[in-house]
A and B are shown apart, each in its own frame.
Chain A
Amino acid sequence: MLDFIVQRLVQAVFVMLTVAMISFSLFQFVGDPVNNMLGPEATAEQRLAARETLGLNDPIPVQFTKWVGNAVQGEFGQSYRMGRPVSDLIAQRLPATLELVAVSALIAVFVGVPMGVYTGLKRNSFLSKIFLTVSLIGISLPTFLIGILLILLFGVTLGWLPTFGRGGLTNIGNWETSLLTARGWSHLILPAITLALFQLTLIMRLVRAEMLEVLRTDYIKFAKARGLRQRSINFGHALKNTLVPVITIMGLQIGALLAFSIITETVFQWPGMGLLIIQAINFGDIPIMSSYLVLVALFFVIINLVVDLLYYVVDPRLRIERTAGAH
């Protein structure tokens, strides 16, 4: 168990360093930042002084070490476009994205898994066939189109729900949340459904495939022969054994949710990190781009670690094999 965790941690550090190197190298692509900061009127001495204070005269490895040191402390420099510290901008936008992603993930799991179990158990029922057809379309529908269709239906035609931005915010410390008011939820629900739909269909199809696989195995037949109740066979034996691949995919999908939140946030003008990064890409705002890259990589690495550890919780075989191997 321990050497497994250590191995994963080493891998995580490797990934983070690679991403950090890529992020750092972004800065080398753009012109001299001194020109941007001082303007064309600055004298040569001022430029030299600025280069010295910014540490631009240091060798590249030294600059990289400094940059990583700052990044670890949450310092990513100033945004070129907005002239504010990147850490402030991200701290301001982060809650919006995290709430959106969390609500979407919950929708995807708590609707997707039951639908998958149902279509797996009642393979030939009418409802299953509808679910499957809808899921096939769901996989082929791009996220932004789902958003547009939902806006058209609930925002424009029916006029039930607001279609852009956040609203009904409550402050808890530095965290602006929209989860505490009905108005906040009315703003959140359409983007969250948009974001969740693709993952929902994916989870549903996966759970169904795994259920079909497991239901064919001998131990399920044996459980039936023992006369166990159907409920306990379906949920205690079958569903439990489908969980390993499902957890893997869910872990990966939370990462995908973060990436796809860029699209959802653009469609719904949701003021989160996705909107920030799209604007940064359009304006070539390197500090925001690089820090976003590092932050997203960090999320991915943490999620992957958690997923690996969850395997131990759901799959007792892993625990036994590892201990057996250690003896």
Chain B
Amino acid sequence: MQPTRTSPDMPASSPRMWRRFYENTKGFFDGDVFYSFSRSPLTILAFVITMAMFFAAIFAPWVAPYDTYDLRSLNLMDAYKPPAWSPGGEAEYLLGTDDQGRDVLSAIIFGLRISLLVGFSGVILAALVGTIMGLLSGYFGGWIDAVIMRIADVQLTFPAILIALMIDGIASTMMSSQARADFKIYVIILAIAASLWVNFARTVRGSTLVEKNKEYVQAAKVIGIHPLLIMIRHVLPNVMGPVLVIATLSLAVAILTEATLSFLGVGVPPTNPSLGTLIRIGNDFLFSGEWWMSIFPGVMLVILVLAVNLLGDWLRDALNPKLR
């Protein structure tokens, strides 16, 4: 499974639009936002940590000391080894080994890969669906707006984790157990996206309502440009700021949701364990004193989510003109 590199998720369009997008982004980084970034050591630290984790996840086969997918490398004689610095630990296994002799550090790096893959895919899907829904809802208004926003209202009353759990439950009753193991990861991505799209839709709708009445949109309408083109080429670039903020904060939520689902045993299957799965497996050994199996993946998860949250908080403040 190749990790997908994420680019700003824009619908395919003309090269001109991309050039303009590039120019917008260029100005963006020369301006206030980058300045506020360079002035906040905590944000820089969060950024470095996040990037380091992305790097480790993408290049996991090269970064990790052992390939945990390669069953031949596992040796049951090496099972239950504590971390290297405690008595009985070995330098080869920095963070110890699990019940099957798997290196915990390597398992964490490969788990990070799954967690980030699921988190990113879920957020991108949610952002795509939510942005489209928000644009349609805000631009056209009327019954389209009414229907989309009523759905959003109903869904917003339920917490993300419950929606994801229910979608997962429905999917598992519909599929055979083999299909379940194969498609589980897609079900989780879908479940996460379904629980997150509302935030995007509501925000984009709000911004679209504001943009819709501005002169440039009115002018574009008068020239007779197709509404879809107006939405994609004129409104969309101007509502991307909030989308970026929500996407960052949603990534933290998505990673936590995935970890929680996996911990509950309804998430990604143990054949390719995510951080949540690792914590669940390690949890069974907590009482017998092998704390490292669950605590280290847990610490990794918290650091990742904390760093992403810090980045999101900073981005929200940096893009908020009120606080400048």
Do the two chains belong together in a single complex?
Answer: yes
Contacts of B174 in A (CB 8 A): 29-30
Residue of B nearest to A303 (CB): B157
Question: Which of A248-296 touch B at CB < 8 Å?
Answer: 252, 255-256, 259-260, 262-263, 266-267, 277-278, 280-282, 284, 286, 289, 293, 296
Chain B residues near A76 (CB-CB < 8 A): none
Q: Answer yes or no: A137 CB below 8 A from chain B CBs.
A: yes
Residues A141 and B302 in contact, CB atoms below 8 Å apart: yes
- A296 and B162 CA atoms in complex are apart in Å by 10
Q: Which residues of A contact B165 (CB under 8 A)?
A: 262, 277, 281
Quick check: A148 and B286 within 8 Å, CB to CB?
A: yes
Q: Are A136's CB and B154's CB within 8 A?
A: no
Are B309 and A140 in contact (CB-based, < 8 A)?
A: yes
Which of B128-136, B206-214, B228-236, B257-265 makes up part of the contact surface? B257-265
Q: Please determine whether B298 and A281 come into contact, CB atoms closer than 8 angstroms.
A: no
Contacts of B272 in A (CB 8 A): none
Q: Is there a chain A Cβ closer than 8 Å to B283's Cβ?
A: yes
Contact A266 B264 (CB under 8 A): yes
Task: Say yes or no: is B69 at the interface (Cβ < 8 Å to chain A).
Answer: no
Interface size, chain A (Cβ < 8 Å) = 46
Contact of A300 among B158, B161, B279, B294 (CB under 8 A): B158
Q: How far is the CA of A256 from the CA of B287 in the complex (A)?
A: 29
Q: A139-B309, A152-B291 are in contact. Are A259 and B161 (CB under 8 A)?
A: yes
State A280–B166 Cα separation when bound (angstroms). Answer: 11
- The secondary structure that dominates the A interface is helix
Also in contact, A262 and B286, with CB within 8 A (given A141-B302, A145-B301)? no
Number of interface residues of B (CB under 8 A): 38
Secondary structure call for the B interface:
helix
| A263, B264: Cβ atoms closer than 8 Å | yes
Do A144 and B173 contact each other (CB < 8 Å), given the known contacts A136-B309, A255-B158?
no
Q: A259-B161, A281-B168 are in contact. Are A145 and B286 (CB under 8 A)?
A: no
Check if B263 sits within 8 Å of A263, measured CB to CB: yes
Q: Contact at A284–B264, with CB atoms within 8 Å?
A: no
Q: Report if A156 contacts B (CB, 8 A).
A: yes
Those of B261-302 within 8 Å (CB) of chain A: 263-266, 279, 283, 286-287, 289, 291, 294-295, 298, 301-302
- Nearest Cβ on chain A to B78's Cβ, whole angstroms: 24
B198 within 8 A of A: no
* Partner among A139, A163, A260, A286 whose Cβ is within 8 Å of the Cβ of B173: A286
* Chain A neighbourhood of B309, CB < 8 A: 136, 139-140
Q: Which of B229-260 contact A (CB under 8 A)?
A: 252, 256, 259-260
Q: Which residues of A are at the interface with B, using a C-beta cutoff of 8 A?
A: 14-15, 18-19, 26, 29-30, 136-137, 139-145, 148-149, 151-152, 155-156, 163, 252, 255-256, 259-260, 262-263, 266-267, 277-278, 280-282, 284, 286, 289, 293, 296-297, 300-301, 304
Give 15 A-B contacts (CB < 8 Å), ordered by A residue: A14-B150, A18-B154, A29-B170, A136-B306, A142-B260, A148-B283, A148-B295, A156-B289, A252-B157, A255-B159, A260-B159, A263-B161, A280-B169, A281-B169, A284-B169
